[in-house]
Structure 1
Amino acid sequence: MIKSSMKYAIRVSALSMLMFGSIGISAQQVHTAEWADGVERALVYRPGDYGSKFYRIPAIVTAKDGSLVTVADKRIEHNGDLPAKIDVVSRRSTDGGRTWSEYVTVAAHDEIGGCGDPALVVDQKSGDILAIFSHGNGLWQESPAHISVARSKDNGLTWGPMLDINPQILTTDPSGKQPIKCTSAFASSGRATQLDNGRIMFPLVVREKENPCFKVYAIYSDDCGKTWMVSKNPATADGDESKIVQLADGSLIMSIRNRFGSLRKFSYSHDRGETW
């Protein structure tokens, strides 16, 4: 959802990714360059690769085998958000980011719509990598995207089918059993979180009918992403893309994009994300 002021491609420097533009580079080749600051940079995603005009919304994790695994939106026709022809694609590196594998599709667009805004997290017990993303509509449509989870059991080499978790967390039906009643929603991209007790968590931005404010909930799983629950209250009554980290004392902090101000918002949880 956040637009970059740079051109839409991605480089990796150490464990960080930047967006930039480039020409005349083939995805099948290895391309590294040392800039004047002495840092070596490798091209990971480039506009034009595999028939896509743009790549946006990167995420990166270190898998249990030490490889780097990235995902990004393959925005096929334009750089706009869902709904659009967007695939979630992945590449991995086994040499610290110097060279990168071929593109692998994590989730492809279909008759429901595109797949985008991925977040990654590694389950430290099983080693599974979870990609969490939206499938179908964007935030401004009148029915919600399917909040979905795809799983890799082999350190990002291959990915299993996407699991729609909407039936567990949200519905448009005011009398539905799901905790969240909403018009639309999207999962924050980039990095999901695993707590010290194994709980996996990500923020969900929610738009309600006739409410101009966006609530942000914490969605969490205690069984490595098989089943999901919702925080008892939103971390904010009006926010946007957010991230959660666990502090040294075990408490959680959610850093929240402020839609109408220059300063970010912060919310805290002292019960592992159940209340904020």
Structure 2
Amino acid sequence: MSGPHPFPRNHPQGRIPAEPQVEIFTTPTTQAIPYRIPAIATAYDGTVVAVVDYRYSRVDIGSGRIDLHIRRSHDNGATWDDIMMPEVMRGDGDKTEGHQKAGYGDPCIVGDSESPRMIITACSGTPGFFGGTRTHHQGWARWYSDDNGATWSEPQYIDEEFIYSKFDKSAYGPIRGWFVGSGKICQSKTTKVGTHYRLYCVGSSCRQGSNETANWVLYSDDFGKTWQFLGGCDESPVPGGDEPKAEELPDGSILLSSRCTGGRNFNIFTFSDTRCGQGTWGQVAFSGSGNKGVTALSNACNGEVLLVPVTRKKDKKTMFLLLQSLPFGSGRANVGIYYKALESLADYRTPDAIAKDWDGRHQSSYISSAYSTMTWQKNNTIGFVYEEDTYGTSGGGYTIIYKNYSIEQITDSAFTYNPSVNGDSLTALGMGAVVDDVTSTDNVGTIVGQYTPEAAHLVNDAYSEYAAHPSRQQYERLNGIIGSAPRVKMGLERYYTLRNYGRGAKLYALYANNATELSVSTNRKAEKAMWCIVPTADDPEVFYLVNKAHPTSMVGPTLAVETRTVLTSNPKEAGRYRIVSTTQGLSKLQCINPTNATYPFLHLAGDNVRIVPWLASSPANNAPSFWYIEPTDVMTGIEHITLPPNPNAAATAEACYDLGGRAIQQPQKGQVYIKGGKKHVE
């Protein structure tokens, strides 16, 4: 079906004309086998290829048979071939755990920019995402086409080789579920290291032993034959993240856009060496109504992110336009596209900059509607597909709608497409301001995580070289120096205060009310507010927090949700904390032996009294999970702890210290002490 769509009951008829559209996959009745989860790509010859779930099971992948259906358009979406039902993408419905061919769902797709080659990947088999184990889990399948999507290869199953086995060896630990993000696979426009321009594919994991989720980005330099984790798989760029998408920004960095209630979570991977995939992730930033970002009212839903070079018509200024689709709401309804002008590097250098102050939006649907994705077509327009409850069938599926948009249509004629915009030139114009910010008093200081004065000199010198000969290579070198420049570190030789960032005008410091009760106080000079941060014997990047006033008391692990964290004198019951700090001196204290793995962070509750566990990523309330770790002038008496070469090696240092750092001649019965780099109890 094509042509203007009849006005739905809630359409503002008479004010907004209906837009041309095509129903490319129709779910006409609640009895029909439903369609869901669209993906779309543009092939090398200009063919537009759409692929969707055909859900015999009527539920998400992992619970029975789902096939993949394909349609192709050779005239930029005006007309479409008949539906293709490839035998190689047909599930058999076998629900045996670990059976890969049971079904295929949530596809993502891309067409190579230099050849007729295309790739589709999808979740596969059974059980579902949350129902798996390390040995029987949801799979990941891929198919290739070498004729612009006309025919497809047999499926290959690549989850064990490139996903599950990698986590087994990571600091993050084993996972029991992997879910590839549906929609568009991103192909770089500038990075070609191997046989093809680089691909970026995204997904979510489910941690072994819990329902904790996390987002990841994979990259491939051989068009999907092999995959590597961008930034590794030791620490997620969006902990707690839901279905994600990725896009390449003007400076070559990678934007991760993650589904969440109320809007999106964003993070950015900034390269220090693109060829080797080296660089760093930033800090997650939430985009929603509170910061004039993309707003999904009363819903969390998958959507697409796309970058387009443009000229702003009113002042002829060249820049880039970032697009993000999602249901505007309330609930899963009123799908449309937000847009944000990226005028300078300051607009896309950090996740926080991306998250705030979006410029406008265009509404595509005026009824119940959900997942969406888009592709840039050869005629310099956007192919946009989304799920719509056109016939009242959303209980099991949707009709998949295609619309064709120009940049003018989406932005109400404020912008127009301009292929000549150069991302490196735009980046160079703004890098001086970035360096000024990096070396400002907010980032250079004495708080743990901040740059040292020496770092500021290194960064300024590197910027001088970049400014004299700007290039992508010099830009990444500068990024590398910014990322590796000396920062304030924690040491055993002194005590620290931990001041909360998000509560009480930043006056509350972590405080031991007594030997077992943890709280906060404004009295940062008291011994009860001073902490020795002691590396564990088996991992120097994991720490115990030991109180000065109560030298046998350590912060315990995070407990159940809203349950107050306590102090303990039993080293076997002590909390083990990984501490990650930003250059603004904001640190998160993540418990790696929590009661509930979904809530691992030390967080000051709203009553400004209780220290409780909190989510890895919380859009509205994560500020109280950040702490300033500030050195005091009070010394511990410990200059160093000699760690053994491995956890089972014999200790070499004979001196004994109590947990307050004082040397002791002979430990007393029941006393916890440090000897040879390890904690002991007499």
TM over 0.5: yes
How far the C-alpha of 1:122 sits from its partner, in A, is 1.4
How far the C-alpha of 1:55 sits from its partner, in A, is 0.4
The letter of the residue matching 1:43 is E
Are positions 1:71 and 2:51 aligned together? yes
Looking at structure 2, the residues matched to 220 and 129 of structure 1 have their Cα atoms a distance apart, in angstroms, of 16
Which of the two has higher C-alpha Rg?
A: 2
Matches within 5 A, 1:43-122: 43-47=23-27, 53-106=33-86, 107-110=89-92, 111=94, 112=99, 113-122=102-111
CA contact (8 A) 1:174 1:181 kept: yes
Looking at structure 1, the residues matched to 25 and 56 of structure 2 have their Cα atoms a distance apart, in angstroms, of 13
Looking at structure 2, the residues matched to 170 and 56 of structure 1 have their Cα atoms a distance apart, in angstroms, of 25
In structure 2, the partner of 1:7 is none
Looking at structure 2, the residues matched to 74 and 57 of structure 1 have their Cα atoms a distance apart, in angstroms, of 9
How far the C-alpha of 1:207 sits from its partner, in A, is 0.2
Instruction: Name the SS of the counterpart of 1:60 in structure 2.
Output: strand
In structure 1, the partner of 2:156 is 163
In structure 2, the partner of 1:5 is none
Looking at structure 2, the residues matched to 43 and 168 of structure 1 have their Cα atoms a distance apart, in angstroms, of 38
Are positions 1:41 and 2:31 aligned together? no
Residues 174 and 42 of structure 1: CA distance in aligned 2, closer, same or farther (over 3 Å): closer
Looking at structure 2, the residues matched to 270 and 222 of structure 1 have their Cα atoms a distance apart, in angstroms, of 18
CA contact (8 A) 1:168 1:228 kept: no
Looking at structure 1, the residues matched to 32 and 218 of structure 2 have their Cα atoms a distance apart, in angstroms, of 32
Looking at structure 2, the residues matched to 269 and 244 of structure 1 have their Cα atoms a distance apart, in angstroms, of 10
Residues 70 and 211 of structure 1: CA distance in aligned 2, closer, same or farther (over 3 Å): same
CA contact (8 A) 2:70 2:85 kept: yes
CA contact (8 A) 1:169 1:180 kept: no
Give CA deviations for 1:100-159 in whole Å, capped at 9, x if unaligned.
212223511134311000011112122311111011132122232221111111111111
How far the C-alpha of 1:245 sits from its partner, in A, is 0.6
Looking at structure 1, the residues matched to 152 and 76 of structure 2 have their Cα atoms a distance apart, in angstroms, of 21
Looking at structure 1, the residues matched to 23 and 263 of structure 2 have their Cα atoms a distance apart, in angstroms, of 33
The letter of the residue matching 2:3 is A
Looking at structure 2, the residues matched to 34 and 248 of structure 1 have their Cα atoms a distance apart, in angstroms, of 36
Matches within 5 A, 1:116-195: 116-137=105-126, 138-142=128-132, 143-171=136-164, 181-195=174-188
Residues 42 and 264 of structure 1: CA distance in aligned 2, closer, same or farther (over 3 Å): closer
Give CA deviations for 1:138-197 in whole Å, capped at 9, x if unaligned.
2122232221111111111111111211232223798569x9731111100011111121
Give CA deviations for 1:228-249 in whole Å, capped at 9, x if unaligned.
1123142112101011111111
Q: Which has the higher contact order (CA 8 A, sep 6+)?
A: 1
In structure 1, the partner of 2:659 is none
Residues 180 and 52 of structure 1: CA distance in aligned 2, closer, same or farther (over 3 Å): farther
Residues 174 and 168 of structure 1: CA distance in aligned 2, closer, same or farther (over 3 Å): closer
CA contact (8 A) 1:120 1:192 kept: yes
In structure 2, the partner of 1:267 is 267
Looking at structure 2, the residues matched to 173 and 226 of structure 1 have their Cα atoms a distance apart, in angstroms, of 16
The letter of the residue matching 2:238 is T
How far the C-alpha of 1:33 sits from its partner, in A, is 1.9
In structure 2, the partner of 1:18 is none
CA RMSD of aligned residues (A): 2.5
CA contact (8 A) 2:57 2:63 kept: no
How far the C-alpha of 1:38 sits from its partner, in A, is 5.5
CA contact (8 A) 2:109 2:183 kept: yes
Are positions 1:32 and 2:12 aligned together? no
Residues 115 and 46 of structure 1: CA distance in aligned 2, closer, same or farther (over 3 Å): same
Give CA deviations for 1:39-78 in whole Å, capped at 9, x if unaligned.
32222111269x9610000111121111111000001242
- Which one has a larger percent strand, Structure 1 or Structure 2? 1
CA contact (8 A) 2:44 2:114 kept: no
Instruction: Name the SS of the counterpart of 2:129 in structure 1.
Output: coil
Question: Structure 1: any 5+ residue segments left out of the alignment?
Answer: 1-30
- Aligned match of 2:243 in 236, 241, 245? 241
Instruction: Name the SS of the counterpart of 1:168 in structure 2.
Output: helix
Matches within 5 A, 1:207-218: 207-218=206-217
Residues 191 and 72 of structure 1: CA distance in aligned 2, closer, same or farther (over 3 Å): same
In structure 2, the partner of 1:226 is 225
The letter of the residue matching 1:194 is Q
CA contact (8 A) 1:85 1:109 kept: yes
The letter of the residue matching 2:227 is W
Give CA deviations for 1:81-117 in whole Å, capped at 9, x if unaligned.
4322101111101122232212223511134311000
Residues 47 and 263 of structure 1: CA distance in aligned 2, closer, same or farther (over 3 Å): closer
Instruction: Name the SS of the counterpart of 2:239 in structure 1.
Output: coil
CA contact (8 A) 1:253 1:267 kept: yes
The letter of the residue matching 1:70 is A
In structure 2, the partner of 1:24 is none
Give the number of equivalent residue pairs: 242
Question: Structure 2: any 5+ residue segments left out of the alignment?
Answer: 7-16, 192-196, 282-682
In structure 1, the partner of 2:592 is none
How far the C-alpha of 1:35 sits from its partner, in A, is 4.0
Residues 212 and 222 of structure 1: CA distance in aligned 2, closer, same or farther (over 3 Å): same
CA contact (8 A) 2:204 2:216 kept: yes
Looking at structure 2, the residues matched to 184 and 34 of structure 1 have their Cα atoms a distance apart, in angstroms, of 42
Looking at structure 1, the residues matched to 165 and 206 of structure 2 have their Cα atoms a distance apart, in angstroms, of 11
Looking at structure 1, the residues matched to 229 and 251 of structure 2 have their Cα atoms a distance apart, in angstroms, of 23
